[in-house]
Structure 1
Amino acid sequence: MRIKKNMNLNEIIVKYPETIEILKNNGFKGLDNQVVLEKLKEITLEEALKLKKINIDSFLILLEESIGEDKVLEDKNAITLTGLLPCPVRTPLLEKFQNFLHKNKDINIKYELKAASAGLSWLKDDVINANNLDNLSDMFISAGFDLFFEKKLMGKFKEHGAFEDMTDITEYNKDFIDLKDPKGEYSMIGVVPAIFLVNKEKLGNRDMPTSWEDILSPEFEKSVSLPIADFDLFNAILVNIYKKYGDSGVEKLGKSLMSSMHPAEMVGSNGPTITIMPYFFSKMIKENGPMIAIWPKEGAIISPIFMLTKKNKRDELKKIVDFMSGEEIGNIISHQGLFPSVNPKVKNLTEGKPIMWIGWDYIYSNDIGEIIRHCEEIFKKGTEL
C-alpha cells in the first residue's frame, strides 16, 4: 500500500489529493484551509481514525482505492510523462487519460501526474538531476515560468533544440492567437487567469479597483492578498507587472501585500479588501454576499499550462499529444476548471475577456529566470516598506 497508517494527514493530502473527498465524507473538516492543513502535520492517520472510531484497516483500503493507479512499467523502452495538473480538473483528466490508454494498448508509457498543490520542487529536482536528455522525461505538462524558461532547468536542453510542438493546431483559440510559440518548441493546453476578488464591505470610500494599475495605487497598500504559495501564477504576476511597470511597479505590488492566503481562504468575508486569485475560485463566491469578482480591464494575467515534448520521441508521443491538446480535454479544463483552453474548437466561458501575456518576443529576448529572481528581491523590499 502507498498510504501508511503512520503518515501524517497533511502528507497524505499533498501527495494524494484524491483522498480529500474520502476524508471529507468521513467527517474531516477544513481541508481547504491552509491553517488546518498545517495542523494536520502533527497528527498521524492512525491517531485521527482512532479519535473518530473508524476502522484503520478498512479505511486504508478505501483511501488506497481512491488514488487510482498510475501505470508503472519497468520496461526501459516505455515513454515517460511527468507533470502537474490543476487541482479542480485533475481527477476528470486522469480518468479520461486512463480510458484513452485502455483503448490504446499499444502505448507503452510510465506517467506521474500530480496535483498542482504538490508544488514544482519535485519536478525541478528531476530536471536538475537529469544531466543529459536521455534522463529527462519525454513529456511534461505543467504551468511554471521558471521550470520551463530557467536556463539551469529546461533551458539547458532547449538550447540544443530538444523540444518540438507536436500539436496539429496551426492557430490557437481566437482569444489566445498570440500564445502560439513562433519557434515551434513549446505548446500549451490552456491558461490560468488571475482576477480580483473585492470585498465591498472593506472597500470603504475607495473606488472599485478595475485595473492592475489600481492595485498598485497608494490607497490599496496593505490591502491585497496575493497567491504567493501558487508559485507559477505568482511568478506570472511578477513578470507581467515588471514588464509593464518596471521595478517601481513590483515594489508597489509588495507594498500592497496584506497577506498570502490559499484561494479557499480568500473568499471569506474576513479576508483582505482585494484578493488576486485564479478565476476558478470565483465559483466559491456566495450570491448576494460582500464579495465581487472583477476581471481586470487591461486583462487577466495568465499563467499558461505548458506542454513540452521531446523532438526525438515524436512517433511515440504523437497520440498522447493529440489527446492532451484535443477538444475533449479542452472542454474539461475550460468548462469544469474555468481554465480557458487554447483549442480552437472549444467555446471558453471567458470568451472575449482580455488577457495579459508577456509574449514570446519578451521570453526569447530575456532571461526569465533572472527576471523572476530580480522581481522577488524588489517585491520583498516593497513588503518591508
Structure 2
Amino acid sequence: MGAIRTYLKLGEVLERYPDKEGMLKDFFDADSSGELLRRYGADSYLNRMLKSEGKPADTLLSLLNEGEEDRTLPAAGEVDFLGMTICLMRQRFQACFDDWMTDYREETGQSFNCYLPRNCGSGNPYRNVWQAENVRDFPGIVSGCGFSDFFRAEFRDNLLKKNVFQAVDMPITASLSRDLIDPYGSYTLYGIYPYVMMIDETRIGSLPRPREWADLMNPVYEDNVIVIGSPEKVSELLLMYTHKEHGDEGIRRLGVTIKDGWHGSRMAKTAGSGSTEGAAIYVLPWAFARFSPRPDKVSVVWPEDGAISNPLFMLVRKDRYRDLEPIARYMTGPQLGREVASCSFPALNAEVDNGLPTQAKMKWLGWDYLRSIDLQQLKGHTQSVFQQNWKRNSRVGTSK
C-alpha cells in the first residue's frame, strides 16, 4: 500500500499497520482496539468515522503516516495513482479523492493503490518518477501542477515521445479555448491556475491602466509592479510567457518595471492599504486577487490577451488506461471540477460553471512550443537575463 488514506477500513488499518493501533485508540478515545471495532465495526471507513465524530481528517492522516519513510512502499510502476496538486488545493483535493474512493469501493468492491503526498514540498518518495526511462517504472496515473518536471526535455525524450500516454476525452467548457487540449494526445488538463493583474486604485494615479501583458514592459511603470516571487528571484512563469513573445528584450524591460517578488497573499493584503512597500500593479493568481480585503480600493484586470495559465494536468499510461479509467474519469469529471472551480481554478469540464468574468480568456504557451524547448534551460536563461537587469538588485547593492 501507499500512504495510509481515509478510504481504508478500520479493520484494514489495524491488520496492515499494527503499530498504529495505539494512535487510533487515542485519537478516537477508545481503551482498546476491541472497543474501536465494537463501536465502529471492522468494515467502517476511516473518513466515515471521522465525519461521525466531527474530527479532522488531515490531523489523523498526519499521525497515521508518521514514520512513513521507514516503511517499504511499492515501486513507482506499481502505484495506480500518484496524486499531486497545487498547495492551495491540497487538503480539499485529497479529502474529495478519499470520499470518491470510499464511494467507489462501496459500489464496486474494488480499490486502487494510490499515493497522495502529505505536503507540497519535500518528503514525496516518488518525486523523481519523471526520470523513468521505461513506462513500466512510471505510475499508472500521475497528476501534477505547473510547468514542472513532467514538462522537462528529459521526460519528453525518455517517455513522452514514445507515445505511451493517453489523454482523456471530455467535453470542454465553451468559455475556455480548445488550445488547452493537447493535440498530441498525451497530457490531460483538468484545470487552470490563472494569473491576472490587480490595480491599487490609491497608487495608480494618472498612469495608464495596463490592458494586456505587454503593457507591463512600459517604462512608465518603473519600480511599480510586484509579481510572484521573493526578494531574491521572481517566478519564471511571467518571464517564460514574456520571453516567448518578446525575447530577451522583453525580460530586460521587466527588470525595470518590477519592484519586488511577493507571495500572492501578501499582495492581496497590501493592495489598497497605503503601505509604502506596495506598488500600483500586482501580478498574482486569480485565487488571491478575487478575494482582496479592500475591494473598493483595488481593481482586478483580466488581461485582454488572457490570464497567464499554469496547468493542472494528468498523465495516464496508455497500457493501463482501461483498468484505471474510473480514476481518470473522476479527475476530469464535474464532481472534482466543481471543487477545483470553487478554489478559483477554472475546470475544463463543460458541466462546471467556473464563475469567470465575461469575456475572460486564458493565455497558453502552446503545445508545439512546449515540445520544442528545453524548459529548464529556458527557466534558467530568463531568470539570468532578468537578474542582470533587475533594478532592485542595483538598489539593494547601493544600500549595503
Q: Distance in 2 between matches of 1:120 and 1:208?
A: 43
Please state how far the C-alpha of 1:333 moved relative to its aligned partner.
Answer: 0.9
Partner of 1:343: 349
* Preserved CA contact (<8 Å) 2:171 2:350: no
Please state how far the C-alpha of 1:305 moved relative to its aligned partner.
Answer: 0.8
Partner of 1:109: 113
Change (3 A) 1:357 1:240: same
Please state how far the C-alpha of 1:150 moved relative to its aligned partner.
Answer: 0.9
Partner of 1:51: none
Partner of 2:94: 94
Q: Distance in 2 between matches of 1:320 and 1:84?
A: 14
Q: Distance in 2 between matches of 1:282 and 1:313?
A: 40
* 1:1-385 aligned within 5 A: 64-65=59-60, 67=62, 78-105=78-105, 106-114=110-118, 117-118=120-121, 124-128=127-131, 130=132, 132-153=134-155, 155-165=157-167, 167-169=168-170, 171=172, 173-228=174-229, 234-267=235-268, 268=270, 269=273, 270=275, 271-334=278-341, 336-350=342-356, 352-383=359-390, 384=393
The structure with more radius of gyration: 2
Letter in structure 2 aligned against 1:329: L
When structure 1 is superposed on structure 2, of 235-244 and 86-95 the one drifting more is: 86-95
Q: What SS is found at the alignment partner of 1:82? A: strand
Q: Distance in 2 between matches of 1:381 and 1:148?
A: 28
Please state how far the C-alpha of 1:196 moved relative to its aligned partner.
Answer: 0.8
* Preserved CA contact (<8 Å) 1:163 1:308: yes
Q: Distance in 2 between matches of 1:98 and 1:305?
A: 19
Q: What SS is found at the alignment partner of 1:303? A: strand
Any idea what the Cα deviations from partners look like across 1:208-256, whole Å, max 9, x if unmatched? Answer: 2222122111111222221136xxx933322221111111112222322
Letter in structure 2 aligned against 1:251: R
Please state how far the C-alpha of 1:78 moved relative to its aligned partner.
Answer: 4.9
Q: Distance in 1 between matches of 2:298 and 2:88?
A: 21
Change (3 A) 1:119 1:189: farther
* Preserved CA contact (<8 Å) 2:80 2:324: no
* Preserved CA contact (<8 Å) 2:187 2:315: yes
Q: What SS is found at the alignment partner of 1:193? A: strand
Change (3 A) 1:273 1:118: farther
Q: Distance in 2 between matches of 1:193 and 1:356?
A: 9
Partner of 2:18: none
Q: Distance in 2 between matches of 1:104 and 1:311?
A: 22
* Preserved CA contact (<8 Å) 2:223 2:257: yes
Q: Distance in 1 between matches of 2:188 and 2:243?
A: 24
Q: Distance in 2 between matches of 1:153 and 1:119?
A: 20
When structure 1 is superposed on structure 2, of 152-161 and 292-301 the one drifting more is: 152-161
Q: Distance in 2 between matches of 1:66 and 1:222?
A: 45
Q: Distance in 1 between matches of 2:365 and 2:326?
A: 30
Q: Distance in 1 between matches of 2:318 and 2:137?
A: 15
Q: What SS is found at the alignment partner of 2:300? A: strand
Q: Distance in 2 between matches of 1:356 and 1:364?
A: 17
Identical counterparts, % of pairs: 22
Root mean square deviation of aligned Cα:
3.1
Change (3 A) 1:382 1:82: farther
Change (3 A) 1:121 1:382: farther
Q: What SS is found at the alignment partner of 1:152? A: helix
Q: What SS is found at the alignment partner of 1:245? A: helix
Please state how far the C-alpha of 1:101 moved relative to its aligned partner.
Answer: 1.2
TM-score in terms of structure 2 length: 0.71
* Preserved CA contact (<8 Å) 2:153 2:373: no
Change (3 A) 1:206 1:156: same
* Preserved CA contact (<8 Å) 2:214 2:242: no
Change (3 A) 1:139 1:331: same
Any idea what the Cα deviations from partners look like across 1:59-93, whole Å, max 9, x if unmatched? Answer: xx997327487899966785332243233433332
Letter in structure 2 aligned against 1:194: Y
Partner of 1:24: none
Q: What SS is found at the alignment partner of 1:85? A: coil
